[in-house]
Every structure is written in structure tokens, then in C-alpha cells.
Amino acid sequence: MPLSSLPSLFLDDPAEAARTGLRFLHFIGLAAGLGSATLLDLLLLRFFLRGEVTAERVAVFEFASKVVDAGLKLLWLTGFGFLLHYALADPVKLENPKIHAKLLVVAVLTLNGLFIHAVVLPHLRRQTGRPLFQGMGAAQRTLFAASGAVSAVSWYMPVALGAFPQLNFTLPAAQILTGYLLLIAAMTAVTAAVAGVLGRRSAAQAGQAAGQGDAELPAANRKSL
């Protein structure tokens, strides 16, 4: 096929060309958001949970969060584009329960992103120089664990829904969302348990350090005399 005939593949069917462009941009947003969200989870696991929160690590976390936000905005933009395309060219697809479930998942993902920027990131900045969970109560650790679980599950859920066309017009949205919530609950429970262990370990280490400092204080006082 000569290159000169390539534009005709898109111009002959404008509706299909628009759908192809939307799909391409949708994949870019999904790849950017999913990749960056996975990176954030790995950063928490590798750096924050195993050592002190540093300014450099917080900067990387904030940059990755911005990439996640950009991917999420692109998902919303292309998602509305798909809805408009279906409304004009193929209204039957608007009745697909999988689309309804996906919209709710992305809405939850958006709310969780707002929570991360309003609560999680400020906490990370305050924890600079200390372990992530030091000084946090059980309720706050569970809340942070739930936010991480929502982020992880909610980014992979749209990928799974898009990858399995067998789910089109088969499962009701309620069943899909029930499975989604069960996954979040299970991951939250595991993450909260791990965070609790790490929090108690940090508290114990801080107590030991304080005890050693108190034990060394009399010796130092004797030297000063």
C-alpha cells in the first residue's frame, strides 16, 4: 500500500477514525496513570516502609502523583468522548453494564486522588526524617491503607474490564462493583495489618532510642562535673 493512500483509511470513515483516536488517547492515559500508580505503590513499599521518609523520596512521590493526575484527566476526557461517540453512532453500547461500572470505578479513583493530595502528601512532608507510620494511630493507618488499596485496585480494574470483552452485557454492574469492593476490602485488611506491625516496630525503636539516651545522660553529667 503506498503511503499516499494511508490518509484515506481514516478519512473514508470519520466516525471510526474518531473512535480510533479516542482509543489511542485513552490507552495513553491508562498507561500513564497505571504505570505511575504502580510506581507509587513500589515507592511506598521499597522506600517509605523500609526506612525514613526523605525530602528526595517525597519529591519523587509528588512528581509521580502529578503524572497519575494527568493520566486520570485524560481518562475522563476520552471517556466522555466515547460516551458522546456511542450516543451518536451506537447508542446500544450505552446500556452495557460494564461501562456503568467503569465510570463508577474512575469516579472513586478521582475521589481517592483528591484525598491523596489533601491528606497523604501533606503527611509525607511532615514525616520527613522519620518512618512513615511513626506516631500514627490504628485508625489513621487503616485510612491510609484503604487509600492505597483503592488506588491499586481502581487502576487495574479498568484494564481488566477493557481486556475481557466477554463481560459485555453479561454481568450486571452491581456484581462487578461487588467484586471490586471485595478486592479493596481484602487489600486494605492486609495493608493495614502490615502497617500496624511497622508502626509498632517504629514505636518500639523510638522507645529504645529514648531509653538509651536517658541511660547515657547521667554519664554525660558526671563528665561535665
Residue-wise pLDDT for 103-139, tens only, equals 999 999 999 999 999 998 998 888 888 877 777 788 8
User: What share of residues in the chain are helix, strand, coil (percent, to 5)?
Assistant: 85, 0, 10
> d(Cα 52, Cα 50) in Å, to the nearest integer?
7
Specify whether the CB–CB gap between 106 and 99 falls below 8 A: no
What is the tens place of the pLDDT at every residue in 135-172? 778 888 888 888 988 998 999 998 888 888 888 899 99
Eight-class DSSP state of 53:
B
Could you tell me which of 36, 33, 117 has the C-alpha nearest to residue 79? 33
The whole-number pLDDT of residue 104 equals: 95
The whole-number pLDDT of residue 81 equals: 93
Backbone phi and psi for residue 174, each to the nearest 5 degrees, phi listed first: -65, -40
The whole-number pLDDT of residue 224 equals: 47
> d(Cα 79, Cα 101) in Å, to the nearest integer?
13
Could you tell me which of 134, 149, 158, 141 has the C-alpha nearest to residue 210? 134
Cα 131 off chain centre by:
21
Q: Could you give the percent of the chain with pLDDT greater than 70?
A: 80
Eight-class DSSP state of 12:
S
Specify whether the CB–CB gap between 102 and 171 falls below 8 A: no
Could you tell me which of 65, 72, 76 has the C-alpha nearest to residue 155? 72
What is the tens place of the pLDDT at every residue in 47-71? 666 667 888 888 988 999 999 999 9
